[in-house]
Amino acid sequence: MVDNSKRATFGGKLSAVLVSAGGAVGLGNIWRFPYVAGENGGGAFLVLYIVCAILIGLPIMLGEFSIGRQTKSNPVGAFRSLNKSWRYFGYNCIVTSFLILGFYSVVSGWTIEYTVHSVTGEITRHASAGEHAAFFSSFIENPWKPVVYTSIAMLLTHTVIALGVRKGIERCSKILMPVLLLMLAVLAVRSLTMPGGAEGVKFFLMPDFSKVTARTLLDAMGQAFFSLSIGLGTMVTYASYFNEKTNLRTTAVNVTVIDTLVAVLAGLVIFPAVFSAGIEPSAGSSLVFITLPGIFASMPLGMVWSSLFFLLLTVAALTSVISLHEVVTVYIAEEWHMSRKAATRLATLSVIAVGSLASLSLGVMKHWTIFGKTIFDALDYVTANIMLPLGGLMTAIFVGVVIDRRVLHDQLTNFGKLQCHQERTVRFLLRYVCPIMLALIFIDNLGLLKWI
């Protein structure tokens, strides 16, 4: 049995919000959301996204917060202590977090590399789009550079985790999250004042309901789910450090609002710049690592903007990596009875090993494939498409149906000290709405709803 009496807790109300928002805000907000929104009807997609965040994101986050604070334990301990046979879904959380770390740490390494090259002026030295594309592929395919940067990302994360819950994670989030919001605001103002930038805002936010189909709804659900980092125990783990005064409802609402705000601001940074440069917006990593550097290169003070942008991306990525690392570390420490220090070390080294393989699979190990995918793509595919929605589905059923009703009641009301008028609604969403929506995401991700 785990002794929770000496468990760390976060300080004030703000800490719970900033730490959880740090886990949620990540690369998904900065490059994925703006592009998916732009392609799917802009403002219309944003409306659907908000509806999905409220209908699936909020209730599951509240469910995770509830089991985390109730049990004050890592995800395996949390599921097990509420129902022994559900402990396997706790393991699903740990494995998913570890596997996501395997490729997320690599991309975090790229963001650090791009920050360094922005500061040295290397990025803005290239002129044509072709040069930027060549620079990016020669970098990710290089046999040792990305491995070094993945290790740097993990060593930075290691330092924060090793400092502990309060001095490491809490302090770091309290500094980095406001810095991230400030950087985003500065970049948005710069981008919005570029000539022709208004076209970009139009592309991104103008509601075009004619583009909304069942597919758009599925995309919005998937994005809300990934962006809010639910379904893999990060929120269970963080909530296990919340103090007894933390109001779970206001915390979950604030985290959702910050996460959405960052996604919208990121769109206001990216699209005005892209349209001002007269470029067709492209998808994912090529937008961030190829198109944008090209635009920075042609801007006055491009070096400054490029450095600021990649630093922003690094901060967003690292706070998510920290949340994933903490899930794995606290599991090892509590379940394998190791000191936090030893657990942190073991987690860091294992992630560097898997991250290096994932990184090399984009270059020298390209031919090692799993079901036709490189290790990097396989990790991304299996976690985001299968394990995450499965974890979310099980969490909704677990909190809504399996465990004693009192757990949700006690946690939402802080053991009767707060009034909660939404308890029935939350329970209804967890029991019926979330399972149906998540099952749809899951089936769709397996490629079974292609006809929509």
**Among 78-86, 213-221, 226-234, 337-345, the segment contacting ligand PHE (CB under 6 A):** 226-234
User: Mapping DSSP to helix (H, G, I), strand (E, B) and coil, where does residue 387 land?
Assistant: helix
Q: Which residues of 388-423 are buried (b: 16+ CB within 10 A; e: fewer)?
A: bbbbbbbbbbbbbeebeeebbeebbbeeeeeebeeb
**Contacts (Cβ under 8 Å, ≥6 apart) of 141:** 362, 363, 364
SS3 241: coil
Find the Cα–Cα–Cα–Cα dihedral 335, 92, 325, 184, rounded to 10°.
-150
Q: How far is the CB of 61 from ligand PHE (least distance, A)?
A: 12
Are 367 and 199 a contacting pair, CB within 8 Å? no
Question: Residues 16, 20, 22, 26: which binds ligand PHE (CB under 6 A)?
Answer: 26
# binding residues, ligand PHE (CB under 6 A): 14
Tell me which residues in 81-110 interact with ligand PHE (CB under 6 A): 100
Instruction: Please choose, out of 112-120, 132-140, 227-235, 288-296, the segment that lies near ligand PHE by the rule CB under 6 A.
Output: 227-235
- Nearer residue to ligand PHE within complex by CB, 232 or 295: 232
Q: How far is the CB of 266 from ligand PHE (least distance, A)?
A: 10
SS3 11: coil
DSSP state of 290: I
Give yes or no for residue 29 binding ligand PHE (CB under 6 A).
yes
Among 24, 53, 270, 354, binds ligand PHE (CB under 6 A): 24
- Residue 237 binding ligand PHE, by CB under 6 A: no
State which of positions 317-336 bind ligand PHE (CB under 6 A): 320, 323-324
- At residue 446, φ and ψ (nearest 5 deg) are -80, 0
What does the alpha-carbon distance between residue 359 and residue 237 come to, in Å, rounded to a whole number? Answer: 28
What is the smallest separation between the CB atom of 100 and ligand PHE, expressed in angstroms? Answer: 6
Among 21, 153, 232, 390, contact with ligand PHE (rule: CB under 6 A): 232
Q: Is 385 in the site for ligand PHE (CB under 6 A)?
A: no
Binding site for ligand PHE (CB under 6 A): 24, 26-29, 100, 226-227, 229, 232, 234, 320, 323-324
